Structure 1
Amino acid sequence: MNFKEMEYILAVEQEKNLTKAARKIGISQPAMSKCLRNIETELGVSLFEKISGEYIPTAAGKLFLSFAQETKERETQFLRELQELVQFRHGTIRVGITPARSSGLTPEVLPEFRKNFPDLRLELYEEDVDRLEEMLQKGLLDVVYFVVDEDYREQHPEFYTELLGREEIVLTVKKETPLRKEPVIKYGFEYPWVDITQFEFETFITLNKDMRIGKICDKELEEHHMSPEVIRFADMRTAHKLVKKGYGICICGSLGMQNHRDQFDIYSFGNKKIIWEFVAAYRVGSYRTEPLQYLTQLYQKAADQKKSGQSYE
């Protein structure tokens, strides 16, 4: 027997009549009868009995129909996945990522991705979070990579987010900068904890107001009733270069900071540990192809390596 013959028998069960089943499939009634006889002969059992003019499955028939339905579903899934694989090996994946995250991770990811999908085209867009969300919602992107807070999923049910990593928001200062209040070890914080108010008269270097780090910095300063000088940039690398020169202090994510312990002192701060999550976001209901899943795995791997200090800066 083959897939087509299984489909014929499923039609008999649905229509309970050989003529109607043959008409539904698009074959003659004699051909349908012959198909049923051949399968029953091959299996050595009767699949249907005729009761009041209707074809009713026997116990063996019910078992066969369950097998045929499962086989049909698996065939459909196989053909769909095969088509998607062929399509996306020669198609395009549209990717969005924030610039700061991209600068540290994308150079690690793209060469590895090309090794496995050399004929697949990547369109990569570096934008701020609001723009990436807009593009994803409109279907202009297949996936976006950015950081979110822990309440993001409840606030954006239109997106499915896959967690790629967590990191603490920290204070960074030039190595061996003297403090007015010594750091302490606090339970639940990853780094030595400092009272942020001792930096009230220092310059805070952060990102623009529409960027997540900039918003976190503003919120913390407001909560601690601080109004220091604040300088903003679009790129965290600029901020870090100034901190290395002792120009000010910086609130930033801890990802990759282990690579610079010889140049920075890194501290936890705040009334509670501030965590953000690095995620891959997709539209709810979208299909995540095998190449797309592999790309996300590469970004997660790059983030893990950078967090542990294994990757470059």
Structure 2
Amino acid sequence: MNKNPEYFKMIVQEGSITKAAEKMFVSQPYLSQYITKLEKELDIKLLNRNKTPLELTEAGKIYYNYLRNSQQLRKKLTLELDSLNYERSTTLNLGFSPWRGSTLLPDILPIFSKKYPKVQLELNEHPANELQNLLKNNKVDLVIVNSSLDVDSDINKEIICYEKIKLVSNKNNEKTKMIKEAVAQKNENPLEIIENERFVLLKKGLLISDMVHDYFENMKIVPKNKIYTTNNTTALNLVSVNMGFGFIVVSSGFINNISENLEFIDLNSEDLTVPLVALYRKDDFLSAATRDFIDITKKHYNLP
């Protein structure tokens, strides 16, 4: 019926035959002829060309869903066959935040690759919001990320563990001992001690940063001296040379190859607890390799 379904899906995605032609490296007249021929073959209009961007007709919506379902069924068939044969060569696309990838993968990939030596891995490291978009657009198969409990209805969420966002300080900073003592004495607002100190924080808009700022607001803390970064490693390195205080997500089995200058302080607040989750599409069949990757990750965090 349709030898090039990707053409139609790209037209729908771009809302324009011209833009779709550019993305698919074909001419605009060729793509227009493709649509005309397809509509003639099906004997029904698929696109409303009087709208900008182009809109699907009711028939177009049915056909588009048919193409998506066909793609998923073919992928499911391949994965089910792969699950019966560990030696079959296949590719698993994984998504992580840059920090998560650098701290988690060295521990679990050797275990996974030993069991699935023929599985090729493609690692995608992006911020959490970008990873969810990649997942929805079939660019990745599985995402391991800190995420709020609210996700899109077409995505499955499996909780791996709950992690704490801890205050990070330099051990040689004179305020470090004071904060630890305040926490031990169950001071309700230990950050008052360092409110006027410098903070090295993740840029606003990132989940962990937003949670930290909400915590500041709840505690009526208004940091006046701030350095913003998008990179956890940069933040930790700055704290390690006593350039300020920061926050980092910490879980069991975490602190490997971290500077000995750093102190990680649990402020004992529910506001600073965040789930680590595995995300995958609801309409996808999980291969044995994907299922095992999730289970190996859970075991790494000491969960059944």
TM over 0.5: yes
Distance 1:254 1:247, change over 3 A: same
AA aligned opposite 2:205: D
- Given the superposition, is the C-alpha separation of residues 106 and 271 from structure 1 closer, same or farther in structure 2, using an over 3 Å criterion? closer
Equivalent position to 2:200, from 174, 182, 205? 205
Question: 1:280 is matched with which residue: 263, 278, 281?
Answer: 278
Q: Following the alignment from structure 1 to structure 2, what is the Cα–Cα distance between the partners of residues 258 and 114?
A: 21
Q: How far apart are the structure 2 equivalents of 1:276 and 1:288?
A: 25
Aligned counterpart, 2:183: 184
In percent, how many aligned pairs have the same letter? 23
Amino acid at match of 2:281: R
Query: Partner residue of 1:136?
Result: 135
Aligned residue in 1 for 2:154 = 158
Q: 2:228 matched to which residue of 1?
A: 232
Distance 1:247 1:170, change over 3 A: same
**Cα distance in 2 for residues equivalent to 1:145 and 1:165:** 11
Structure 1 segment 67-86 matched on structure 2, within 5 A:
81-82=80-81, 84-86=83-85
User: Which structure 1 residue ranges, 5 or more long, are not aligned?
Assistant: 1-78, 306-313
Instruction: Describe the shift of the 1:80–1:196 C-alpha distance in structure 2 as closer, same or farther (beyond 3 A).
Output: closer
Offset at 1:227?
Answer: 3.3
- The aligned residue for residue 147 of structure 2 is 148
Aligned residues of 2:143 and 2:280 also touching (Cα < 8 A): yes
Q: Give yes or no for contact 1:158–1:284 (8 Å, CA) kept in 2.
A: yes
- Once the two structures are TM-superposed, the CA of residue 261 in structure 1 deviates from its matched residue by 9.1
Structure 1: distance between partners of 2:301 and 2:188 = 24
Q: Is the 8 A contact 1:96 1:144 kept in 2?
A: yes
Tell me the distance in 2 between the aligned counterparts of 1:107 and 1:208. Answer: 26
Quote the residue 2:250 is aligned against: 254
How far apart are residue 87 of structure 1 and its match? 8.5
Provide the residue aligned with 2:106 in structure 1: 107
Tell me the secondary structure at the aligned position of residue 286 of structure 1. Answer: coil
Change (3 A) 1:273 1:128: closer
Deviation, structure 1 residue 262 = 4.9
Task: Give the Cα–Cα distance (whole angstroms) in 1 for the partners of residues 227 and 291 of structure 2.
Answer: 38
Q: What is the number of residues matched between the two proteins?
A: 222
Task: Name the Cα RMSD after superposition.
Answer: 3.2
Give SS of 2:85's match.
helix
SS at match of 1:209: coil
How big is the shift at 1:107? 1.8
Aligned to 1:290: 288
Query: Structure 1-normalised TM-score?
Result: 0.62
